[in-house]
Homo-oligomer: A and B are copies of this chain.
Amino acid sequence: MTKMDFSIHCQSCSFSHLCLPVSLNDNELESLDDIIERKKPLQKHDVLFSEDTPFKSLFAVRSGSFKSVIRTEDGQEQVVGFHLPGDLIGFDSLDAQTHQSSAIALETSMVCELPYHMLDEMAERFPKLRKQIMSFMSSDIQQKHELMMLLNKRKAEERLLYFLTHLSQRYAERGFSEKQFNLTITRNEIGNYLGLTIETISRLLTRFQKEKLITVDGKLIEILEYDLMLAKSKGLHHELMQQLTC
């Protein structure tokens, strides 16, 4: 329609199978596409929104990656999530005037803006869209439950193995290599998210490498023993080992 339209549409987005479009038919998809605002790229460290930004929209990651952080009263930061293409950001703020967390680009990234009042209006007309939004929020809650378990019950080793295998899985879903990926996330951010210090993360990564579970080359990670890592992350390696050696 205009010079600024680079033909960016849900219809041609390679992550639509993970995003709101997943359950919509052509007609519905077109309506959704119409309300979406594409924004110019964000650079690394750019703030998509922060805790004093008025809440008006949800955002879908088009490319790149983001972290969500909350800030505590005593000034500390807590990373509460990492977002890859297709992920929706902002579900923690639907009942508030302003966003309840900050979203920060981890690399050059693009987002689709979904004005919430229009989305809500559409949700009235399209039950499938409504269901989809609720599903996303529901599985968000469910994942947070799993995370609680991880933080409460698992040792440092298991937490990091979970993080790596989970990330690998998410890359796979997006058509990226699940064996090898460049961390856009720093050791610091991983530690913050998992409730560990950067030193512990560092030590564990070198240990995993010695144990031939992964190779580490700076930010480049290669997964060598996915199944074993997954089993270990669940505290199941003892049982698994027993099975193997019996």
Chain A residues engaging chain B, CB cutoff 8 angstroms: 70, 72-74, 76, 78, 80, 91-96, 100-101, 120, 123-124, 127, 130-131, 133-142, 144-149, 151-153, 192-195, 234-236, 239
Contacts and interface: CB of A to CB of B under 8 A. Distances in A.
A145 B100 contact: yes
Copies of this chain in its oligomeric complex: 2
A153 B78 contact: yes
19 contacts: A70-B146, A72-B149, A74-B236, A76-B153, A91-B141, A94-B134, A100-B142, A101-B145, A120-B130, A130-B130, A134-B137, A137-B137, A140-B141, A141-B144, A144-B144, A147-B148, A151-B151, A151-B195, A152-B194
A92 B145 contact: yes
A139 B80 contact: no
Given A124-B124, A141-B137, A148-B80, A234 B72 contact: yes
Nearest to A239: B74
